[in-house]
Amino acid sequence: MTTSTPSVLNLSVLSSSTSVDLRPAITPKFLPSNPINCPAFTSLPKPSPRSPIPPRLRTAATPMAAEQSGSAVDNPDGIMKLLFVEMGVGYDQHGQDINAAATRACRDAISSNSIPAFRRGSIPGVSFEQMKLQIKLGVPHSLQQYVDIERVKSVFPYGKIVNVEVVDGGLICSSGVHVEEMGDKNDDCYIVNAAVYVGY
């Protein structure tokens, strides 16, 4: 009976350390001497090169760049340096008075805030008289022409109002009931959103 002799491993001993060469002395018949030329390998599709990262994604690596620049939000003209943003919402459930909703939205924005920094001189070089306000109102488009800007301004007890902007927003919805005794012409309820920007 003839028995097969297992492949002999080449062992090499170095002076400083011992390493073992585990490569078989005889190349197995099922593996070609150069695997790169094997059809099983050459038939595989080549990976496509990675697409470059679009510039708009690369710039995302610097988060909050706009905030760190010190520019005022919603203030492209640079007419004031922004400190606070107050937000509110106002409703007029009966009577269909868009100015009632607008003034309530402004009162809601400022009613739960106290800003003592201007009066106490907490901001170096800035006096109380330098306080500025910008008002942005979100009003249903069909009602924007009826907004009384002076009535809106009257809500704010102090601060120089440098701008009042009316944009599409808010809501007209049903209050669910038409109450003639409260001046209703229909059951519409008007909703206005307000953002008040405070700075100097």
Dist CA 198 CA 15 (whole Å): 78
In the prediction, which pLDDT does 128 show?
85
In the prediction, which pLDDT does 69 show?
35
Dist CA 58 CA 115 (whole Å): 39
> Backbone phi, then psi, for 128, in 5-degree steps?
-60, -35
Question: What single-letter amino acid sits at 77?
Answer: D
Q: For strand 188-199 and strand 171-174, is the pairing parallel, antiparallel, or unpaired?
A: antiparallel
Give the H or E element holding residue 91.
strand 82-92
Per-position pLDDT tens, the chain of length 200: 555 555 444 444 444 444 555 555 554 554 555 555 555 545 555 555 554 444 433 333 333 333 333 334 455 457 889 998 999 999 999 999 999 999 999 999 999 988 888 888 888 888 888 999 999 999 999 999 999 999 999 999 989 999 999 999 999 999 999 999 999 999 999 999 999 999 99
Of 85, 131, 130, 93, the C-alpha closest to 110 is 85
Question: 73 near 197, Cβ under 8 Å?
Answer: yes
In the prediction, which pLDDT does 41 show?
46
> Backbone phi, then psi, for 92, in 5-degree steps?
-130, 100
Of 27, 1, 159, 179, the C-alpha closest to 80 is 159
In the prediction, which pLDDT does 14 show?
44
Of 85, 128, 87, 83, the C-alpha closest to 107 is 87
Q: Domains of the chain, with CATH numbers? A: 72-199 (3.30.1330.20)
For 171, counting Cβ atoms within 10 Å of its Cβ (0-12 exposed, 13-18 middle, 19+ buried), the class is middle
> Backbone phi, then psi, for 2, in 5-degree steps?
-100, 130
In the prediction, which pLDDT does 99 show?
98
Q: DSSP labels for 97-116?
A: -HHHHHHHHHHHHHTT---T
* Entry pTM: 0.61
